[in-house]
Amino acid sequence: MQCIRMKFKNRAAAALGVLSFCVLGLIVLGHPAFAQDFLSQSAQTSGLPQTDLIVVIARLIRAFLGILGIIFVVLVIYAGYLYMTSQGDPTKTAKAKKIISQAVIGLIIILASFAIVSFVLDALLKKPNGQIKSSPPVEKYYEPLSGALGAGIVESHYPPRNAYDIPRNTKVFITFKEPIDPASLIDGYKKALSEKDPNQAKVLNTTNVWLYETAKGKDKKLASVAVNVATNEKHTIFVFDPVDLLGDSAQNTNYTFSLQSGIKKDDGKNAFTGVYASGYEWTFQVSTKLDLTPPKVISVIPKQDANEPRNTTIEIQFNEAMDPIASAGSYLIGIGKDPLFTNIAVLGAGPKNVEGTYEISSGYQTVGFTTTDACAKDPCGDTIYCLPGNQKFSVTARAATLDPSSPPQAKLEGVSYDGLTDAAGNSLDGSGDGIACGSDQDKIACAGGAANDNYAWGFTTTAEVNSTVPQVTTLTPSVDGENIDPNKPIEIGVSTAVKSSSVNSNTASLWPDPLYKDKQGKMFAMWFDPDADNSTGKGLISIGHPAFISNAEGGYEYYPVLTQGIKSAYQICLYPATQQGGACNGADSTQPYCCNGKPSAGPCKTKKAKGILPGNE
């Protein structure tokens, strides 16, 4: 706090007035509880959760004491004026001295009152363990109904939380960790009918799923027939396609997507339980524009014409989120009633389609292929799947047939497409020239005279199995890092490219210590959202999260947790070694854990609560 320097002829009176003003201001503003009140008031103005009645009363009392302090300063200044203008008049001099003495007595009473009030209020505002009860700092940052992302049943979704500049013609994707009963999300869903006609149009179950303009509220949610819904064969991914464009062309519009507590898993149990029992929701901002730019490929594994060990993963990374129903599936001959996914094809000798599964991950921007041929075990005892050795392979990512009335938009085949499309339904631009010319049947001139806009490349396998162990090489923030950007994702560098689908909320998580609690002591989860990027040839794992709470606000320490479920592009489990710490090398079977850069025989524990980190039991 800065004290205003004021010029007085009578220096003693001036010094007393200024000193008293500064002392009172420092006492009032410097008190921790008052600082907390000020931050709470800021939270109120921004629309964040408000504090309780006790804190409001505290603010009023302290404001009143502050006014009394100002009155004291005014009296001292007035007395000083009388003294300086008395010109030796004993009556005026005596009056000035009397005002000053009474003002000082009043100041003593004010300070005593403030001390008593502060003691009483602090006793009311604190729990027995000394933690603030009325307004925990976490409540200022808490995003309601958010914890199920990462910590609960929601694995990922698009658009992301708090995303902006989302095009008006976007779809909404949600991936769950377990199969969901489609009837919970699709109105009138009948399993027998679905198996007879898997591409039948399906509409939204508005009892359990709400999509609405945030400003208008849930009472104005979109009707059932206003949103078409599709699901994958496992019922873990759902795509919601609004019939009409979202927002308008004149101004940006905020939308809320809300999943209600009535949603069931495929086994009939509640999808949202425990601290997540109330469901999940998030908001995103829709821009005034449409997305008419086709997606393109930015990297692949293996590289073109590479000679790779047979346990390599095949991956395609795109520059934007892709429709997961059109981009992922299985090519498994004679297994159940699974349809054969052909929008991406891996061809070996013959040529013959290699059987396996295509998985989408990393914010719906990466599709990876894993075969069904088990060939080895990694150091953690997990199965490695291999391609045939000493063989040439070709991979083709197919462009979807265009809608003749609105290219580059693809033509819907039921509720999906016959090729790859982005979140706005634009067909793949395999040539990367910015123009989508579709599939063979479109007969549109493509770049270089190609018959279609597919993306294709080839590589060769060796007879070997690569056993190189991936290691953590960089951590941002570093171990015990301080003064970090509270909004920046956690980033972990890995020595090799990683299998993107192995990076998920079970293998890469983030936890506060202690776990978040509201003012009633009820625990709630902090959301987190991991993904992977191999575009540089090495792995980069990032974990998105809400704003961290600083220690200056009575905040928390945060613990990223990586498990050996993270695999390299050759399906070898992660050893938690770091060049920064250097101590953990994963080779000592008696100390298999790496905790804050140090090897440990048991699971890692938090510093404050000394508890076992969630997911590391």
Q: Tell me, what's the pLDDT at 595?
A: 86
**272 or 597, which is more confident:** 272
Contact 607/511 with Cβ under 8 angstroms? no
pLDDT tens, 231-253?
998 999 999 999 999 999 999 99
**pLDDT score of 55:** 53
Q: How many residues does the chain have?
A: 617
Instruction: Give the mean pLDDT of 359-385.
Output: 95
178: pLDDT strictly greater than 90: yes
pLDDT at 503 over 50: yes
Q: Label residue 153 by pLDDT band (50, 70, 90).
A: very high
Q: Is 12 exposed, middle or buried (0-12, 13-18, 19+ CB in 10 A)?
A: exposed
pLDDT value of residue 614: 72
Least confident of 24-28, 509-513, 585-589: 24-28
- Out of 2.60.40.1220, 2.130.10.10, 3.80.10.10, 3.40.47.10, the CATH code matching 297-461 is 2.60.40.1220
Q: Output phi, psi for 613, to 5 deg.
A: -65, 135
Cβ–Cβ under 8 Å, residues 160 and 537: no
Residue 84 predicted with pLDDT over 50: yes
User: With the CA atoms of 402, 403, 407 and 410 taken in that order, what torsion angle do they form, in degrees rounded to the nearest 10?
Assistant: -60
Residue 117 in this model has a pLDDT that exceeds 70: no
* CA of residue 162 relative to chain centroid, distance: 9
pLDDT for residue 45 is more than 50: no
Q: Which fold would CATH assign to domain 468-617?
A: Immunoglobulin-like (2.60.40)
* Residue-wise pLDDT tens digits, 555-604: 788 999 999 999 999 999 998 776 554 557 656 678 878 888 788 888 88
Which residue in this structure is represented by tokens 């990922």? 156
Model confidence band, residue 159 (pLDDT cutoffs 50, 70, 90): very high
Exposed e or buried b for every residue in 97-107, given b needs 16+ CB within 10 A? eebbeebeeeb
- C-alpha distance across the termini of the chain, in Å: 48
Whether the predicted pLDDT of 12 surpasses 70: no
Better pLDDT: 408 or 21: 408
Alpha carbon distance 434, 445 (integer Å): 13
d(CA 227, CA 258): 14
Upstream peptide bond of 294 is cis (omega within 30 degrees of 0): no
Q: Does residue 72 carry a pLDDT above 90? A: no
Enter the DSSP assignment of 220.
Answer: G
Q: Cα dist. 10→90, 93, 96, 471 in Å?
A: 17, 13, 12, 73
* Phi, psi torsion values for 179, nearest 5 degrees: -60, 135
Tell me the C-alpha distance between 352 and 593, whole Å: 43
Residue 315 has pLDDT above 70, yes or no: yes
Q: Which residue has the higher pLDDT, 6 or 470?
A: 470
Choice among 191-200, 416-425, 530-539 with the minimum mean pLDDT? 191-200
Where helices occur in 85-206 by DSSP H, the ranges are 90-125, 138-141, 191-196
Cis, bond preceding 159 (omega within 30 deg of 0): yes
Per-residue pLDDT averaged across 183-208, rounded?
A: 74
Question: Most confidently modeled of 122-131, 325-334, 584-593?
Answer: 325-334
Enumerate the β-bridge partners of residue 600.
593
**pLDDT at position 337, please?**
53
| C-alpha R_g of the chain | 32
Which range is least confidently modeled, 37-46, 80-89, 174-183, 347-356? Answer: 37-46
* In the predicted structure, residue 19 carries a pLDDT above the cut 60: no
Residue 338: predicted pLDDT: 55
Identify the residue with better confidence: 191 or 301: 301
Provide the pLDDT for residue 333.
Answer: 84
Would you state the pLDDT for residue 66? Answer: 72
Closest by CA to 361, choosing from 500, 243, 486, 513, is 500
- Top pLDDT among 518 and 526 is at 526
Question: Which CA distances in Å does 553 have to 27, 37, 45, 261?
Answer: 19, 12, 18, 33
Which letter does DSSP use for residue 442 in this model?
A: G
Q: What is the DSSP string of 32-91?
A: HHHHHHHHHHHHHHTTPPP--HHHHHHHHHHHHHHHHHHHHHHHHHHHHHHHHTSTT-HH
Same fold, 154-286 and 297-461: yes
What is the rounded average pLDDT of the residues 487-513? 95
pLDDT tens across 550-560, in order? Answer: 877 777 889 99
Q: Which two tokens stand for residue 552?
A: 């200056």
- Which residues does 131 contact at the CB level (< 8 Å), separation at least 6? none
What are residue 376's phi and psi, to 5 degrees?
A: -165, 180
The C-alpha angle with vertex 559 and arms to 553 and 564, in degrees rounded to 5, equals 170
- What whole-number distance in Å separates Cα of residue 196 and Cα of residue 121? 68
- Look at residue 372 and give its three-state secondary structure: coil
Between strands 557-562 and 508-513, the pairing is antiparallel
Query: Taking all residues of the chain, what is their mean pLDDT, rounded to a whole number?
Result: 83
| Interval 532-540 mean pLDDT | 94
Domain boundaries, the chain: 11-135, 154-286, 297-461, 468-617
Strand order in the sheet with 490-494: 472-476, 490-494, 539-544, 529-533
Query: Out of 16-25, 184-193, 509-518, which region has the weakest mean confidence (pLDDT)?
Result: 16-25
Reported as a pLDDT band with limits 50, 70 and 90, residue 615 is low
The answer to whether residue 363 scores a pLDDT higher than 70 is yes
Tell which CATH architecture fits domain 154-286: Sandwich (2.60)
Q: Give dist(CA 83, CA 129) in Å, integer.
A: 53
The verdict on whether omega for the bond into residue 560 sits within 30 degrees of 0, i.e. cis, is no
Give the residue among 396, 169, 434, 195 at the shortest CA–CA distance from 293. 434
Res. 414: pLDDT tops 80: no
Query: What is the rounded CA–CA span in Å between residue 298 and residue 291?
Result: 19
The residue written with tokens 């929008």 in the block is 343
Query: pLDDT value at position 382?
Result: 94
